[in-house]
A and B are shown apart, each in its own frame.
Chain A
Amino acid sequence: MNSLILNNSLRFIGLVLLQVLIFNHINLFGYLNPMVYIAWILLFPIRKNKSLFLILSFLLGLSIDFFSDSGGINAAATLAIAFIRLPILKMVLRKTDFDFLLFNLRAVSFSKAFIFIVILTIIHHFIVFSLEYFSLNSFYPIISNTILTSVFTIIIIILGIILFSKKK
């Protein structure tokens, strides 16, 4: 239990620093920056107590906002995907009562984990870019930014999860 708390706190701090110091300055093709910190949301253990998870994901988004001067954009988006994570997972896995405590993203089949990651990433990126542009006129840049950045983010998150997590 203690190692679980330690693991998640280290992952929290590590992902925030990784995001603000490295991934915010990648600028692939001049403007693409992946938002890999949402991997924390994907990997957080699923438990019945959701309030701690919601507050922590809000804080995760807010710490990114502190570094990138974006008001509360990342906090709002991260909180939103934290809230819909469980329903999406249930929908993807098509099980109503799976083992909450023992859930591991590596344990489910790759295609299902992939769909889960893709849905949450696209929703998160769409919220971030809509709030950043905040106008209906810029519908095209919002959509193109969402899709291109999502592809980049998903590739890096999946590579990261495969490299840094133990298969059960």
Chain B
Amino acid sequence: MQQIIYFIRKFRYFLLFLLLEILAFTFIIQHHSYHKSKFVNSANSISGGIYNKTNSINEFFHLKTENERLIEENTALKNSLSIKNLSENQDSFKLNDSAQYGQKYEYTYAKIINNNYTNRNNTLTINKGIKQGITSDLGVINSKGIIGVTKSTSSNYTTVLSILNNNSKINVRLKNSNHFGTLVWDGKDYNILQLIDIPRQAQFKDGDTIITGGKSAIFPEGIKIGVIKNFKFENNQFQDINIQLFNDMSSIGYVQIVKNLERTEQLNLEKESLNE
């Protein structure tokens, strides 16, 4: 017994070091598993509050670009509205069945108060949380493409798993055909992502547009993401398909959060058919 006490006394600093190191590694591992990063994240009131304060100063310097982006989006929306009006006028015998107009997606806006894009695993913080109805696993987009998926929430802040993250895998497809692939990031350039798992019979060329696929229950189908920058075809396989994003990930201000109102329904159905 005395020897044990002697041992502990002799190595007490090393044991303390070991204990704290194990604690740190527990946080790292928790952080890697998607839903468990409850403790160490910037969605708490202290860091969220500080980021919120500094962002309100920074925001002032980006008003011009933000306004330009809004004007662009407004023009695009007006254009699509006019196209829609045209088609509705032509089809004058439409039946107005209210059940067919069920809303599938609900959009909320939020402001990015902390943006990271230089690390291997990037996370963003936005200024809305549980009080505003944000939960985990909601899509985050802006007018030029997708940003990421919400991760941890606190009462007023939420962290977002950016698409510039090793753990982010987004289902996407080619705009001109229905071939699905997965969007990942190799950690090199923050405006260039990689497309993998695309079947080899897919046909595309440089400059083709990539949009979100309808397979995920998070993002609506058809959000434009970027264009194919270059690719190689080796060993009968597509290699290194680089996607140039429409978004500039280093300057994003306001974003929209997409809530899929039929998500539970879709997931339950998929689970049921998997069990059969």
Contact = CB atoms under 8 A, between A and B. Distances in A.
Interface of A: 17, 20-21, 24, 27, 30-33, 50-51, 54-55, 58, 61-62, 65-73, 75-76, 79-80, 83, 131-133, 138, 141
B175 to A, nearest CB: 29
B131 to A, nearest CB: 21
B80 interface: no
Given A72-B25, A72-B27, A79-B21, A133 B123 contact: no
Contact of A76 (B24, B114, B121, B250): B24
B179 to A, nearest CB: 27
B65 interface: no
A73 B30 CA distance: 12
Interface stretch (B9-17, B89-97, B194-202): B9-17
Nearest to B26: A72
B208 to A, nearest CB: 27
B132 interface: no
Nearest to A133: B120
Nearest to B44: A66
Interface in B26-60: 26-32, 37, 40-42, 44, 46-47, 50-51, 54
Q: How large is the interface on B (under 10, 10 to 19, 20 to 34, 35 or more residues)?
A: 35 or more
Given A21-B54, A69-B41, A132 B12 contact: no
11 contacts: A17-B50, A58-B24, A66-B41, A67-B42, A67-B47, A67-B51, A71-B40, A72-B31, A79-B21, A80-B21, A83-B17
Contact of B20 (A32, A65, A66, A79): A79
- Taking chain B's interface residues, is the majority helix, strand, or loop, or is none over half, making it mixed? helix
B20 A58 contact: yes
A132 B17 contact: no
Nearest to A83: B17
A48 to B, nearest CB: 10
A138 B13 CA distance: 33
B159 interface: yes
A71 B119 contact: no
Contact of B13 (A20, A51, A66, A67): A51
A79 B24 CA distance: 9
Given A21-B54, A31-B118, A51-B13, A76 B41 contact: no
A154 B62 CA distance: 32
A70 B119 CA distance: 10
Contacts of A31: 118
Contacts of B125: 69
B187 interface: yes
Contacts of B44: 66
Contacts of B30: 71
Nearest to A73: B28
B143 interface: no
Contacts of A17: 50
A69 B21 contact: no
B182 interface: no
Nearest to B13: A50
B209 to A, nearest CB: 26
Contacts of B51: 67
Contacts of B41: 66, 69
B81 interface: no
B54 A54 contact: no
B23 interface: yes
B123 A71 contact: no
A62 B40 contact: yes
A55 B15 CA distance: 12
